[in-house]
């Protein structure tokens, strides 16, 4: 199919979406290379080859023949299912229907199926497709596949209208040359070219920064968040935590060192069958984050392993602490639960900060074990009660109305995600019955990819029960003065001190 951005532009203008015209005609200058046309606006994606075909990119199975380790990891990853993911497909269909004119097909598809967009093979028909009405062809169905990352030859981040990487600002050169991090790679199957960008966080930032194309609001900005962290200051990039096992990533965060500088990291091996030498570090390709639902749901090979590693990743992210203070002499206490983002290289949670649910489930029991206070208990309907402390951003549209539709988000009215190595408190008050000789506090930090309302809306009522992952639990017992029992260190605040104020 021929590119006809003017036609799309015309239609879009007709329906009142003038912006599409602007994006589809943007010219791009890159050093030493001829000017590229960005033909897929509002996505920033571009190719050095005119009218590329799906066959210009190879199937991951071919790569897997020699790169078994990378293939195994990738197969279970969210990157392998970024097009098929039913939650994405359903949301994508809502976006396309709401905005119209194909703009959202290109914007969302530019990251979730880059090959589909570059080859104009994505079709939308609400009656078709397994999951949401979108179809594409061949390797384009395999989302962010090997060649999507390893035929990326450059980036237009420097000239991006958003002042940095985002909305898939990668430039592709499909073909037999594979771009990667090795300076001296020799392959019997393909040419290789050293690519500095593959070793940088900016590489990931091309897709892990999402801007609203009209109001330019950074809807998701994991890369921009990372830039402000101690990790970035110490040269620790996304790859250092997400392309190594979780146990290694823990050490990266705790020792503030890159994997290659960790003692006995044990990540060496052969990077591809037929390689001349072993490499001191070969990267995992599971790209494990927090999602433990979709890979097992779609039954992909390696999905269960991915789920287990995602749960482990979530359980590595945070630490909890508890502070109790009697606020009067009649048995009223203030309880503060401190949540520290110990090992995530960005806000906790990141990306879909208005959709992900990280919350505190807190209970207080008296000396007899009777519950005297509870907050954040998941109900029988898998929903959280009012008043639950949730670490998230509250998103609104241009009129200030609450919305979780990504294409409508124009701002955040409340920012309650936790910065890296920083912390936030959940604060509560409860009353202890006079008879009790003390109390026990249990605080749990939990994670859900989305709430049950959104899952029901996107996938159908009760089609999926969203699982809750326990990230961390802390239990401590206190005497009536609010001092920890069993020798745990805790600043002591006596009621008398409070009374004097
Ligand atoms: C999301 C992007 C992405 C995808 C998808 C991806 N890779 Fe990679 N790959 C990278 C990056 C980035 C590096 C370099 C990591 C570094 O050096 O910091 C890399 C490194 C490599 C290397 C060099 C050796 C090593 O492991 O460090 C090989 C070989 C490789 N990838 C093959 C593959 C194959 C085969 C697939 C598909 C099964 C694949 N990659 C999918 C991003 C990707
Ligand atoms: C710049 C690249 C980019 C664009 C553009 C983009 N996405 Fe995404 N999307 C991502 C990334 C990266 C993630 C993973 C974030 C995470 O899981 O934390 C994601 C995750 C999602 C998810 C969550 C899937 C799940 O199972 O949890 C949904 C839903 C989604 N995107 C919908 C959309 C829609 C709809 C659009 C267009 C309006 C869109 N995305 C545009 C990169 C993009
Ligand atoms: C016949 C075996 C074979 C096949 C098939 C194969 N590769 Fe390779 N590849 C190798 C070998 C060998 C190396 C060099 C490893 C080394 O030097 O340590 C390599 C190196 C690489 C590198 C590193 C390049 C660099 O400079 O950093 C990437 C990336 C890569 N391959 C990607 C792919 C992708 C993507 C596919 C599928 C489209 C693929 N390979 C198919 C054998 C193969
Ligand atoms: C071509 C675009 C693209 C590039 C480049 C890319 N990603 Fe992604 N990534 C995505 C999309 C799209 C998803 C979401 C898939 C979904 O949820 O449906 C995703 C998902 C992920 C997830 C899983 C999130 C979760 O909720 O579990 C992690 C982790 C991740 N990417 C890390 C990386 C890292 C690290 C890099 C750089 C080495 C990178 N990505 C490069 C597009 C990209
Ligand atoms: C110091 C280690 C570390 C670094 C560096 C790091 N991450 Fe993460 N990342 C984590 C941990 C731990 C989690 C799980 C907790 C969470 O969801 O935030 C995570 C989660 C994620 C998720 C899933 C978020 C969700 O809940 O949907 C994505 C996507 C992601 N990271 C992408 C990136 C990208 C892109 C970069 C670089 C710009 C990066 N990460 C840098 C440790 C790291």
The span from the CA of 82 to the CA of 347, in Å, is 22
- Residue 406 pLDDT > 60: yes
Would you tell me how many other CB atoms lie within 10 Å of the CB of residue 10? 14
Cα atoms in the 13 Å half-sphere on the side-chain side of 44: 27
Residues sharing a CB contact under 8 Å with residue 375, sequence separation 6 or more, in sequence order: 360, 361, 362, 363, 385, 387, 388, 389, 426, 428
**How far apart, in whole angstroms, are the C-alpha atoms of residue 455 and residue 10?**
36
Q: What is the pLDDT of residue 9?
A: 37
44 token code pair = 């920033």
CA nearest ligand 3 atom 32, residue: 178
Residue 132: the pLDDT is 77
Of 475, 362, 481, 465, the C-alpha closest to 432 is 481
Give the binding-site residues of ligand 5, using a 6 Å CB cut-off.
201, 204-205, 208, 222-223, 226, 231, 236, 238, 240-242, 249, 252-253, 289-290, 313-314, 316-317, 343-346, 348-352, 356
Ligand 4 pocket residues where CB is under 6 Å: 78-79, 82, 85, 88, 111-112, 114, 144, 148-149, 168, 203-204, 206-208, 238-239, 242, 287-291, 310
272 Cα to the center of ligand 3, angstroms: 6
Q: Which residues contact 44 (CB under 8 A, 6 or more apart)?
A: 38, 110, 156, 160, 166, 167, 168, 169
Pull the structure tokens for residue 73.
């990891």
Q: Is the pLDDT of residue 26 over 80?
A: no
Q: According to the model, what pLDDT value does residue 500 have?
A: 36
Q: Place 491 in a pLDDT band, splitting at 50, 70 and 90.
A: very low
CA atoms within 13 A on the CB side of 250: 12
Is residue 300 exposed (0-12), middle (13-18) or buried (19+ Cβ within 10 Å)? Answer: middle
- Mean pLDDT confidence for 80-88: 97
The answer to whether the beta carbons of residues 449 and 425 sit under 8 Å apart is no
Integer Cα distance of 360 and 379 in angstroms? 14
pLDDT above 80 (res 5): no
Q: Which two tokens stand for residue 97?
A: 């229907």
| Cβ-count burial 142-153 (b if 16+ within 10 Å, e if not) | bbbbbbbbbbbb
Pick the more confident residue, 367 or 27: 367
List the single range of 29-33, 122-126, 242-246, 313-317 with lowest mean pLDDT: 29-33
Tokens of 223: 């890369």
The pLDDT of residue 128 is: 77
Cis before 34 (ω within 30): no
pLDDT tens column, 364-389: 999 999 999 999 999 999 999 999 99
Testing ligand 4's pocket by substitution, the residue of 43, 47, 82 carrying the most ligand atoms inside 8 A of its CB is 82
Cα gap 152→173, rounded to integer Å: 6
pLDDT category at 38 given cuts 50, 70, 90 is: confident
* Cα 343 to Cα 247, 303, 314, distances in angstroms: 11, 24, 10
Q: What is the pLDDT of residue 35?
A: 59
Average pLDDT taken over every residue of the chain = 90
* % of the chain surpassing 70 pLDDT: 89
328 vs 203, more confident: 203
149, 200, 272: which to mutate for ligand 3, most atoms within 8 A of CB?
272
Q: What is the pLDDT of residue 130?
A: 65
Closest CA to 77 of 243, 192, 236: 243
Tell me if 56 sits within 8 A of 116, measured CB to CB.
no
How far apart, in whole angstroms, are the C-alpha atoms of residue 65 and residue 56? 19
pLDDT one-digit tens code per residue, 251-286: 999 999 999 999 999 999 999 999 999 999 999 999
What whole-number distance in Å separates Cα of residue 368 and Cα of residue 355?
39
For 34, residues 6+ apart whose C-beta sits below 8 A from its C-beta are none
Position 488 scores a pLDDT of 41
User: Which string of b and e fits 467-477 if b means at least 16 CB within 10 Å?
Assistant: ebbebbeeebe
Is residue 103 scored above 70 in pLDDT?
yes
Ligand nearest to the CA of 107: 2
Read off the pLDDT band of 149 (50, 70, 90).
Answer: very high
Predicted local distance difference test score (pLDDT) of residue 3 = 40
Q: Is the per-residue pLDDT at 20 higher than 50?
A: no
CA of 222 to the centre of ligand 3 (A): 29
Kindly indicate the confidence band of residue 36, based on its pLDDT and cuts at 50, 70 and 90: confident
Counting residues of the chain whose pLDDT is more than 90, the rounded percentage is 85
Could you tell me how many residues make up the chain? 501
User: If we measure between CA atoms, which residue out of 414, 393, 45, 424 comes closest to residue 219?
Assistant: 393
Looking at residues 29-57, what average pLDDT do you find?
83
- Average pLDDT, integer, range 6-11: 38
pLDDT at 131: 67
**Average pLDDT rounded to a whole number, residues 459-470:** 94
């Amino acid at each position: 199919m021929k590119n006809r951005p003017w036609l799309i532009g015309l239609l879009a203008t007709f329906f009142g979406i003038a912006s599409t015209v602007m994006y589809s005609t943007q010219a791009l200058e890159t050093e030493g290379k001829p000017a590229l046309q960005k033909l897929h606006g509002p996505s920033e994606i571009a190719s050095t080859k005119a009218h590329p075909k799906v066959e210009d990119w190879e199937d991951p199975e071919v790569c897997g023949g020699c790169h078994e380790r990378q293939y195994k990891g990738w197969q279970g990853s969210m990157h392998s299912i970024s097009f098929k993911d039913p939650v994405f497909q359903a949301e994508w269909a809502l976006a396309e229907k709401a905005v119209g004119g194909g703009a959202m097909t290109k914007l969302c598809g530019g990251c979730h199926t880059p090959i589909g967009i570059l080859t104009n093979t994505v079709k939308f028909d609400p009656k078709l497709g397994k999951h949401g009405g979108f179809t594409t062809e061949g390797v384009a169905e395999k989302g962010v596949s090997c060649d999507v990352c390893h035929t990326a030859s450059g980036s237009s981040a420097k000239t991006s209208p958003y002042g940095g990487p985002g909305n898939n600002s990668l430039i592709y050169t499909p073909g037999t040359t594979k771009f990667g991090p090795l300076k001296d790679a020799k392959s019997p199957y393909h040419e290789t070219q050293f690519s500095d960008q593959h070793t940088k966080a900016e590489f990931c930032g091309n897709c892990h920064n999402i801007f609203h194309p009209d109001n330019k609001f950074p809807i998701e900005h994991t890369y921009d968040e990372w830039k402000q962290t101690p990790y970035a200051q110490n040269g620790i990039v996304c790859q250092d935590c997400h392309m190594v096992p979780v146990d290694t990533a823990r050490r990266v965060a705790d020792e503030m060192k890159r994997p290659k500088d960790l003692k006995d990291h044990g990540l060496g091996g052969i990077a591809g069958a037929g390689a001349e030498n072993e490499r001191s570090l070969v990267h995992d390709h599971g790209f494990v984050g927090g999602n433990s639902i979709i890979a097992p749901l779609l039954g992909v090979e390696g999905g269960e392993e991915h789920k287990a590693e995602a749960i482990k990743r979530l359980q590595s992210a945070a630490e909890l602490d508890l502070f109790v203070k009697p606020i009067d002499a009649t048995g009223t206490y203030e309880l503060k639960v401190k949540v520290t983002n110990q090992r995530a290289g960005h806000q906790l949670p990141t990306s879909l900060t208005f959709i992900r649910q990280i919350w505190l489930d807190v209970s207080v029991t008296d000396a007899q074990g009777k519950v005297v206070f509870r907050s954040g208990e998941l109900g029988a309907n898998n929903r959280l009660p009012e008043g639950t402390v949730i670490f998230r951003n509250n998103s609104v549209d241009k009129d200030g109305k609450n919305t979780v539709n990504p294409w409508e988000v124009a701002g955040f009215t409340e920012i309650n995600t936790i910065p890296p190595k920083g912390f936030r408190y959940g604060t509560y008050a409860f009353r202890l019955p006079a008879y009790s000789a003390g109390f026990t506090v249990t605080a749990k930090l939990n994670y859900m990819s989305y709430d049950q309302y959104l899952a029901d809306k996107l996938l159908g009522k009760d089609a999926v029960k969203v699982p809750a992952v326990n990230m961390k639990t802390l239990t401590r017992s206190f005497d009536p003065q609010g001092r920890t029992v069993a020798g745990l260190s805790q600043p002591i605040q006596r009621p008398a001190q409070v009374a004097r104020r």
